[in-house]
């Protein structure tokens, strides 16, 4: 059965410590940033006035509440039915927020709004989970390639993290059927169509706007 509990050890392995990030000027404990803790602790933990000290002393049980919260958002409450695919969506949301989800939405050929809804779930459930796991590393590599001054130092750690994610996920990979191959091809066609359609839509909209101004 698909569950956040199947990824808990992975998260604890890579997010186990208390760290102060100078660039962000905030503490992170067990993968939970201060800004996240401050915003969600009242809702998730019943702590009405969160403090940095509370974050620093947060228990594993409390951290697990946050993990489950983000798991539920990433999988639409376990609506993604393959554990490996669910792992990919969680990892992308956990580490990349809406941008991570948008990456996978572009891959599976649905509107990339950064939110996992019924259409995203439906497409994800038809897509080979092994490719979704590969896309996690593809995004890591893309970040390092596009902005090496900011991310190149992290790529080796990301690769090690991904290797662990792959290791715990591969047992859930499906046999890729002809139907899945068609799904992959169709999603790529949608992405290619969007590449030319979006600039065209902007151009048409702009020309209409100019015409309106002239009236």
User: Does 56 share its domain with 89?
Assistant: no
Task: Please tell me the pTM assigned to this model.
Answer: 0.87
Among candidate residues 58, 75, 92, the one where a domain is terminated: 75
Measured torsion, CA atoms of residues 114, 119, 123, 126, in degrees rounded to the nearest 10: 140
Q: How many domains does the chain have?
A: 2
Structural domain of 189: 79-215
The residue-averaged pLDDT of 9-22 equals 91
Q: Which of 89, 28, 99, 37 is nearest to 62 (CA)?
A: 37
The residue-averaged pLDDT of 75-79 equals 98
User: Does 49 share its domain with 84?
Assistant: no
Tokens of 155: 């790529």
CA 142 distance to own-chain centroid: 14
**Tens digit of pLDDT for each residue in 94-133?**
999 999 999 999 999 999 999 999 999 999 999 999 999 9
User: Does 153 share its domain with 178?
Assistant: yes
User: Does 40 share its domain with 133?
Assistant: no
Q: Which of 22, 35, 17, 29 is nearest to 55 (CA)?
A: 29
Q: Which of 85, 64, 65, 61 is nearest to 74 (CA)?
A: 85
In sequence order, which residues have a C-beta less than 8 Å from that of residue 210 and are 6 or more positions away? Answer: none
């Amino acid at each position: 059965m698909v569950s956040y509990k199947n990824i808990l050890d992975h998260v604890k392995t890579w997010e186990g410590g208390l760290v102060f990030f100078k660039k962000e000027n905030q503490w992170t404990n067990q993968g939970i940033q201060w800004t996240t803790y401050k915003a969600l602790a009242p809702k998730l933990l019943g702590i009405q006035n969160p403090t940095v000290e509370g974050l620093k002393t947060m228990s594993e049980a409390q951290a697990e509440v946050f993990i489950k919260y983000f798991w539920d958002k990433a999988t639409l409450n376990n609506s993604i039915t393959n554990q490996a695919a669910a792992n990919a969506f969680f990892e992308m949301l956990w580490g990349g927020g809406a941008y991570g989800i948008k990456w996978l939405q572009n891959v599976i050929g649905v509107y990339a709004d950064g939110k996992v809804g019924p259409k995203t779930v439906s497409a994800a459930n038809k897509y080979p989970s092994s490719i979704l796991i590969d896309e996690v590393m593809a995004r890591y590599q893309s970040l390092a390639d596009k902005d090496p001054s900011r991310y190149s130092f992290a790529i080796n750690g990301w690769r090690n993290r991904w290797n662990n994610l792959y290791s715990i996920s591969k047992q859930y990979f499906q046999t890729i059927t002809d139907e899945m191959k068609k799904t992959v091809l169709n999603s790529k066609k949608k992405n290619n169509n969007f590449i030319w359609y979006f600039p065209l839509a902007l151009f048409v909209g702009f020309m209409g706007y100019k015409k309106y101004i002239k009236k």
